[in-house]
Amino acid sequence: MTPVGLLFKVNSEGLFTCPVNASPVDYAKIYPDPESEKAIMGSVVYCIHHKEGCQWSDELRKLKAHLNTCKHDAVLCAAQCGAMIPRVLMQDHLRYTCPRRRANCEHCHKEFSGSALEEHQGNCGHEPVYCENKCGAKVQRRHTQQHIQQHCSKRLVPCRHCGQRYTQDTVTAHGATCSRAPVPCPQRCAAAPVPRDELDAHLRDHCTAAGVSCAFRDAGCRFKGTRQALDRHTEESCQQHLALVSALATRQARQLESLRAAVARLSVNCSGALVWRITDWAAKMAEAKCKDGVELLSPMFYTSQHGYKLQASLFLNGNGAGEGTHMSVYIKILPGEYDALLRWPFSHTVSFTLFDQSSSPDRACNIVESFVPDPTWKNFQRPSKEPDALGFGFPRFVSHEMLKKRNFVKDDVMFLRVKVDPSKIVAV
């Protein structure tokens, strides 16, 4: 029951609503109170599209008639697409959004229905689109493949000199550094341009204009000139070149000499012990037996880096008391470079060891003899520049009998150790 005097409101869908709780009300079922109805129908209302901008306002009874013409009221699309469109927007709808409208593609100008046009858009072959290689160009969609293959500045093209692939807009810049690009000879010779990476070889080996050095440069010839001039120079300078080479050979011989001396200094034995390897033993023994006084001399060695200079001496067929029956060994003190700084007489213990080369080391029986120098002996004084021929040692070091008993000689080789010990003062 609607109280008299209260006005129904009309919502956005055109329905009357209860003024109390705003729920929709069926106009036909409102209790007909003729007095109230009359009052209601006569009451002044706004158009239901007032908010959209319709200014119409009149008695309620005239609203229905107004809505038939109200430009804000929605009606079915005139092209029968089924949409409800406010009259005021119908023109726009029919022109731009109605799926049943007829329209032309702005790119290819073909006519389509609205829905077909929407599908067509994004596929039209005439629409200009940006190149997918991001070269910045805009080409019609139907020409993109051709553009990418033939015109795009970002397409890969091979360098015509080296064959490496570069984008079309960088291949020219690459040519300025390409190792295979031909460049003219900087000496301006008559040769055709050569690939950049062969230029050095050209200048070195083939260029007729480049200055080349004389082949005798290392020998001291300073000549430098073109290849032709060099040929002439080489022909004319035989004498001069020969003199340069000869001088060089002399210089090098001197260098070799000093190098040899340096190597000898470095390789000299300064350990105070010498293991003397005597090879071709049988032949040497045979020689000693048929000739008198055959003496074998060991390599020189030093007692320390700046010590006494020593040499061992060996008579295979004996000497003095051992002649013909024994092998004799001696030590000689040679004039050395550091004698002035050393103590005299020489007083280091000297020992000789003849090695038994038995295959089982446990059963090997070496022969060892040693002595402490007698300070009164002339042999142990500082040697003069012309030293004594004989040293000091053992004329009867080992008998020929004994030599045969054990493996002192094996594979025609004998080993004799000579050891000088400054700390020992007692002979073994």
Return the ∠ at Cα 408 (arms to 405 and 409), rounded to 5°.
105
CB of 413 to Zn ion, least distance (A): 55
Is 183 one of the binding residues for Zn ion (CB under 5 A)?
A: no
Q: With respect to Zn ion, which residue has the nearer C-beta, 86 or 387?
A: 86
Residue 209 token pair: 């204009």
Binding residue for Zn ion, selected from 16, 216, 308, 380, defined by CB under 5 A: 216
- With H, G, I as helix, E, B as strand and everything else as coil, classify residue 87: helix
Q: With respect to Zn ion, which residue has the nearer C-beta, 242 or 268?
A: 242
Is 45 one of the binding residues for Zn ion (CB under 5 A)?
A: no
Is 49 one of the binding residues for Zn ion (CB under 5 A)?
A: yes
Contact positions with Zn ion (CB under 5 A) in 112-131: 124, 131
Specify the pairing of strand 24-25 against strand 102-104: unpaired
Is 105 one of the binding residues for Zn ion (CB under 5 A)?
A: yes
C-alpha span between 351 and 370 (Å, rounded): 4
C-alpha span between 59 and 45 (Å, rounded): 6
Q: With respect to Zn ion, which residue has the nearer C-beta, 36 or 133?
A: 133
C-alpha span between 355 and 368 (Å, rounded): 9
Per the DSSP assignment, residues forming a β-bridge with 415 are 277
Which candidate, 60, 53, 57, places its Cα nearest to that of 37? 60
Size of the site for Zn ion (CB under 5 A): 32
Site string for Zn ion, 65-104 (x = CB under 5 A): -----x------x-x-x----------------x------
Is 133 one of the binding residues for Zn ion (CB under 5 A)?
A: yes
Is 56 one of the binding residues for Zn ion (CB under 5 A)?
A: yes
Q: With respect to Zn ion, which residue has the nearer C-beta, 40 or 77?
A: 77
Q: Which residue type sits at 369?
A: E
Q: State the chain's maximal CA–CA distance in angstroms.
A: 177
C-alpha span between 247 and 296 (Å, rounded): 41
Binding residue for Zn ion, selected from 7, 116, 159, 294, defined by CB under 5 A: 159
Site string for Zn ion, 184-213 (x = CB under 5 A): -x-x-x-x---------------x------
Is 367 one of the binding residues for Zn ion (CB under 5 A)?
A: no
Binding residue for Zn ion, selected from 63, 90, 178, 316, defined by CB under 5 A: 178
Q: With respect to Zn ion, which residue has the nearer C-beta, 206 or 424?
A: 206
CB of 54 to Zn ion, least distance (A): 3
Which candidate, 327, 302, 297, places its Cα nearest to that of 312? 297
CB of 131 to Zn ion, least distance (A): 3
Q: With respect to Zn ion, which residue has the nearer C-beta, 245 or 334?
A: 245
C-alpha span between 72 and 64 (Å, rounded): 13
CB of 25 to Zn ion, least distance (A): 21
Is 108 one of the binding residues for Zn ion (CB under 5 A)?
A: yes
Binding residue for Zn ion, selected from 45, 135, 199, 212, defined by CB under 5 A: 135
- Percent helix, strand and coil across the chain, each to the nearest 5: 30, 25, 45
Contact positions with Zn ion (CB under 5 A) in 373-412: none
Q: What is the DSSP string of 328-386?
A: EEEEEEEP-TTGGGS-SS---EEEEEE----SSGGG---EEEEE---TTSGGGSPP-SS
C-alpha span between 133 and 144 (Å, rounded): 10
CB of 274 to Zn ion, least distance (A): 52
HEC profile of 18-61: CCCCCCEECHHHCCCCHHHHHHHHCCEEECCCHHHCCCCEEEHH
Q: With respect to Zn ion, which residue has the nearer C-beta, 221 or 274?
A: 221
Is 143 one of the binding residues for Zn ion (CB under 5 A)?
A: no
Q: With respect to Zn ion, which residue has the nearer C-beta, 15 or 402?
A: 15
Q: What are the residues binding Zn ion (CB under 5 A)?
A: 47, 49, 54, 56, 70, 77, 79, 81, 98, 105, 107-108, 124, 131, 133, 135, 137, 152, 159, 161-162, 178, 185, 187, 189, 191, 207, 214, 216, 221, 223, 237
